[in-house]
């Protein structure tokens, strides 16, 4: 009887996800989901270190345990929606880069309370959802030049890597030159360098959990040398959501300001194109694109990403988005939504291990390598930018360089958007500038001259 029940259950799962049709097996999907989790669960340590009140944000940050729990819950919800609705082997979690924008540009840079920033995240998710289920999505995608999309991805990568270098003490402030090289005799800096080298070695060797393994090894060495605190426990019940859940809704009226409009627009832009690129890239690797190179059920997939963002904001974390680390699961054989469901299950289990993750989150030396490596991976889009044409090279370069140098993703994005129409007009190609780009140019000019502090 038990065997028969298992067979029927397996058959229903196979039928719902189309496992056999895609040439996969339930066992392979289970393994792929596990590999995806190992490749991306570093977010459980890094996200609290960026958004939490035990990191750079200090008293302005979200309670660290609340961020940890919210990160895990958002990953569970987002991945389940993607797996069960869109049925793609793509997992979701709070996105790297967007969490940095949330923390350093919005909360620290603009002085906006994290509760209001969550409201902005929620609004960006709502707009994203509307765009995903309508044809407006295609119009916007076509309006923004590919070169700028590539530059934004690379710029966010540069900004994230800069954060990692700063947290590690490898790059420090210098009154004479603004920035300088850190003191390599400091234990924390040496530990961070060790973690970076180890993570890079794991990555080059092709280990799917390279970032996670690097974090674990660095944390262990740090504990043995007294540079990292030893956890005071292993397992604990998930806590903290009472401090963040619903704050995005409560403070929603405060998000309808001109300053927040720029914040919401930036969140929407980065998430919109990052999600689109990730979905296409992962689906292409899995052989799920159709004969025209289009993504079947694209609206459902992007809608799932938007739902994840809305849910994450209400729960208490920054923008939730599709993770490029899902390619690790695809390389392990994942082809259907069951892979994402399994990843969600692992995140549900992980939320009970806060005592371990909080120690990692509280040490910039331990998480630095993860940020730097993520920056490296995001910088891959640099190779696709047409540097031989100044009308593309100038706005792309300005976008990329201004993000880390102004310590703001929004500033870099805005500068690039402003320069693109300028160089196109200078080239005599102003007719090729989409009307949407002119609207965005006006919005960002207003941001710099009227709203920026």
22, two tokens:
């895609």
Q: List 172's β-bridge partners, or say none.
A: 180
Q: Determine the pLDDT at residue 277.
A: 66
Q: How far is residue 15 from each of residues 164, 298, 394, measured CA to CA in Å?
A: 44, 21, 51
The pLDDT confidence band at residue 306, using thresholds 50, 70 and 90, is very high
Nearest-angstrom CA–CA distance, 312 and 71 = 8
pLDDT of 164 > 80? The answer is yes
Instruction: Quote the DSSP letter at residue 332.
Output: T
Taking only the tens place, the pLDDT of each residue in 411-445 is 787 888 899 999 999 988 888 888 888 887 887 78
Residue 276 has pLDDT above 50, yes or no: yes
What count of Cα atoms within 13 Å lies in the side-chain half-sphere of residue 64? 22
As a whole number of angstroms, the distance between CA 44 and CA 358 comes to 9
pTM greater than 0.85: no
Per-residue pLDDT tens digits for 90-103: 999 998 878 988 99
Does position 453 have pLDDT exceeding 50, yes or no?
A: no
Please state, in angstroms and rounded to a whole number, the distance separating the CA atoms of residues 451 and 453. 6
Q: What are φ and ψ of residue 206, in 5° steps?
A: 85, 20
Over 80: is that where the pLDDT of 407 sits?
Answer: no
Give me 308's structure tokens: 């994840």
Q: Does 120 score more than 90 pLDDT?
A: yes
Which pLDDT value is given to residue 159?
80
- Segment (H or E) for 448: none
Q: How confident is the model at residue 139 (pLDDT cuts 50, 70, 90)?
A: low
Quick check: 27 pLDDT over 60? Answer: yes
């Amino acid at each position: 009887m038990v065997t028969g029940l298992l067979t029927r259950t397996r058959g229903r799962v196979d039928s719902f996800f189309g496992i056999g049709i895609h040439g996969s097996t339930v066992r392979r999907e289970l393994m792929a989901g596990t590999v995806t989790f190992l490749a991306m669960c570093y977010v459980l340590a890094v996200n609290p270190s960026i958004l939490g009140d035990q990191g750079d944000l200090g008293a302005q940050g979200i309670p660290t345990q609340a961020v940890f729990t919210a990160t895990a819950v958002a990953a569970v919800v987002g991945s389940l929606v993607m797996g069960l609705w869109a049925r793609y082997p793509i997992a979701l979690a709070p996105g790297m880069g967007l969490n940095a924008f949330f923390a350093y540009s919005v909360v620290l840079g603009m002085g906006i309370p994290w509760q209001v920033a969550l409201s902005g995240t929620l609004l960006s998710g709502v707009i994203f959802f509307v765009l995903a289920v309508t044809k407006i999505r295609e119009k916007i995608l076509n309006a923004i030049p590919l070169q700028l999309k590539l530059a934004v991805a690379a710029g966010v990568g540069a900004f994230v890597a800069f954060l990692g270098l700063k947290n590690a003490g490898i790059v420090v402030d210098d009154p004479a030159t603004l920035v300088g090289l850190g003191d390599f005799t400091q234990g924390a800096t040496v530990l961070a360098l060790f973690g970076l080298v180890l993570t890079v070695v794991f990555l080059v060797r092709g280990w799917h959990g390279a970032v996670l393994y690097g974090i674990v090894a660095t944390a262990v060495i740090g504990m043995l040398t007294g540079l990292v605190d030893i956890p005071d426990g292993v397992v604990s019940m998930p806590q903290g959501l009472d401090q963040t859940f619903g704050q995005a809704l409560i403070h929603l009226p405060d998000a309808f300001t001109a300053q927040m409009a720029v914040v919401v627009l930036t969140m929407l832009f980065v998430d919109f194109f990052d999600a689109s690129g990730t979905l296409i890239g992962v689906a292409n690797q899995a052989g799920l694109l159709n004969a025209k190179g289009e993504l079947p059920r694209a609206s459902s997939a992007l809608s799932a990403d938007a739902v994840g963002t809305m849910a994450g904001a209400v729960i208490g974390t920054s923008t939730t988005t599709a993770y490029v680390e899902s390619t690790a699961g695809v390389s392990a054989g994942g082809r259907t939504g069951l892979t994402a469901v399994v990843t969600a299950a692992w995140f549900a289990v992980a939320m009970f291990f806060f005592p371990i993750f909080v120690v990692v989150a509280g040490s910039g030396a331990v998480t630095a390598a993860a940020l730097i490596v993520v920056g490296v991976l995001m910088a891959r889009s640099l190779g696709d930018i047409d540097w031989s044409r100044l009308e593309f090279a100038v706005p792309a370069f300005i976008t990329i360089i201004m993000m880390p140098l102004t310590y703001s993703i929004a500033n870099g994005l805005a500068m690039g958007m402003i320069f693109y129409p300028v160089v196109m007009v200078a080239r005599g190609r102003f007719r090729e500038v989409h009307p949407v780009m002119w609207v965005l140019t006006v919005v960002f000019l207003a941001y710099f001259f009227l709203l920026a502090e």
